[in-house]
Amino acid sequence: MNNYSFNQKTPSEIDGLISARIRNIRKRRKISQKKLSEKSGVSLGSVKRFEQSGEISLISLTKIAISLDLEQELEHLFEDVPFLSIEEIVNERS
């Protein structure tokens, strides 16, 4: 049983969206998968798998982001997350 509501995306759907965005950026910059692999130090197989399935390690995603000059996008991930409850505010202060 999962804990997802009908409106939430699954982890696989989110991974697919991220990989599609990276693939589109790579293509619009006219960088081949092979060149991205060489530039990032991530194996060509991992780059291909990421673009096809969204599966990749965090370190490899970070290397790809850096090679595409997108490291600030990752650095700002989860930066301004709103509190969901008063309890969260109290927990952060303790």
Chain centroid, CA 86 distance in Å: 29
Mean residue pLDDT across the chain: 93
Report d(CA 28, CA 41) in Å as an integer. 21
The span from the CA of 72 to the CA of 69, in Å, is 8
pLDDT digits (tens, 9 = 90+) for 30-63: 999 999 999 999 999 999 999 999 999 999 999 9
Query: Given 3.30.9.10, 1.20.140.10, 1.10.260.40, 3.40.50.300, which CATH number is that of 1-71?
Result: 1.10.260.40
Q: Residue 27: which residues within 8 A CB-CB, separation 6 or more? A: none
pTM equals 0.84
Phi-psi region of 18 (alpha: psi -120 to 50; beta: other; left: phi over 0): alpha
Tokens for 66, please give them.
């850096």
Q: Where are the domains of the chain?
A: 1-71
Cα–Cα distance, 55 to 46 (Å, whole number): 8
